[in-house]
Amino acid sequence: MDLIDEFRNRDLCETLLAHIHSEALHNFTIMEVCGGHTMALHRFGIPALLPSTIHLLSGPGCPVCVTGRGFIDQAIELAMHNNISVCTYGDLLRVPGSLTTLEKARAAGASIEIIYSPLQCLEFARENPAMKFVFLGIGFETTAPASAVTLVKAAEERIDNFYLLSAHKVMPPAMAAIIHAGVKVDGYLCPGHVSTITGTNMYEPLVIDFKVGCVIAGFEPLDLLQSILMLVRQFNGAEPRVEIQYTRAVKPEGNPKAQQIMNQVFEPCDAWWRGLGVLNNSGMQLRPIYQHMDAVLAFGLNMAEPPDPPGCRCGEVLKGLLKPTQCSLFSKICNPTNPIGACMVSAEGACQSFYKYANH
């Protein structure tokens, strides 16, 4: 039996489900914050297996979904310049900007490279000194350390044609903002990959301030069911706390080396989130010593945020106020081959997960 089979064991899943059904006697709302959890829950059909007392909501944990159209607009504008090339992870390509996508701009001649690591962008910069290269940094604490390592390397090598356009974000301010917005959440399924970097400390204020349970969960069926049972037991015992279910990857202290390099390069800043607006200290901007590589400053970008397309309700979906199927465009006009909003573009977006697994 390989590791994956072990975490998909049917007998153990049924045992956990039996416990959940016998113990979840009161109405209880769980928000999964991570887009990877949204996808996994629906892919494995878990919502349909849970008792009617448990309500699952999807939250703002898909980085592509919370990144604004203004970010895409600015990236496209940069890529249209003769001597600027933009490097991006592939999942940003089809996210709609105000007028077009990076994918369509690329087909129209904009210089856009798809990469798997920011170090590839740095390599391009090293090999092509006459060009300027801008890396689109999106994601949470999972991807920010790789951006930070690349910036340190660029500074050490004095490479002066490499820049970062940062939409990096941290998760807890969004988790707090959702509760402040009046969304009823009794327990959070906390992101597994983010927590491998951060550890548990960043969730403690949520427990203290809002009495909400937090369980850091893995991505296999047994992980998800065990995490849900842990939250149910916290709720039944009126003892909300931070627990790690995903112990094979997450340590309480996280990854100190990755934290150190992130803190060396980035400092907190206010950042815009789709659905939540501007949240204090929820973004990561470059510290002064690295600011010569900040694309916003270097190219004088205007990061104003245009509204979402008419009829698109991604903002409410990301706050857990609306199920994707309640958007009037869902499936009729908006689908993975013709995505109107960001939540339908990303494989981790709630709308695409519902379309692929729950709706069809």
Q: Cα torsion for 189, 178, 335, 354, to the nearest 10°?
A: 30
Our CB check for ligand SF4 shows the closer of 228 and 345 to be 345
Which pair of tokens denotes residue 33?
A: 């914050």
Nearest-approach distance from CB 169 to ligand SF4, in angstroms: 19
Residue least distant from ligand SF4 (Cβ): 341
Is residue 334 a contact residue for ligand SF4 (CB under 6 A)? yes
Nearest-approach distance from CB 337 to ligand SF4, in angstroms: 12
Nearest-approach distance from CB 271 to ligand SF4, in angstroms: 21
Our CB check for ligand SF4 shows the closer of 113 and 316 to be 316
Our CB check for ligand SF4 shows the closer of 70 and 324 to be 324
Size of site (CB under 6 A) for ligand SF4: 14
Answer yes or no: are the C-beta atoms of 167 and 274 closer than 8 Å. Answer: no
Q: Distance between CA 168 and CA 150 in Å, rounded?
A: 14
Strands 187-190 and 162-168: unpaired
Our CB check for ligand SF4 shows the closer of 261 and 344 to be 344
Q: What angle do CA 61, 64, 67 make, to 5 degrees?
A: 95
Our CB check for ligand SF4 shows the closer of 145 and 324 to be 324
Nearest-approach distance from CB 317 to ligand SF4, in angstroms: 5
Site string for ligand SF4, 313-332 (x = CB under 6 A): xx--x------x--x-xx--
Which pair of tokens denotes residue 74?
A: 């600015």
- Burial of 259 per CB tally in 10 Å (0-12, 13-18, 19+): middle
Is residue 343 a contact residue for ligand SF4 (CB under 6 A)? yes
- Burial of 65 per CB tally in 10 Å (0-12, 13-18, 19+): buried
Give residues in contact with ligand SF4 (CB under 6 A): 312-314, 317, 324, 327, 329-330, 334, 340-341, 343-344, 351
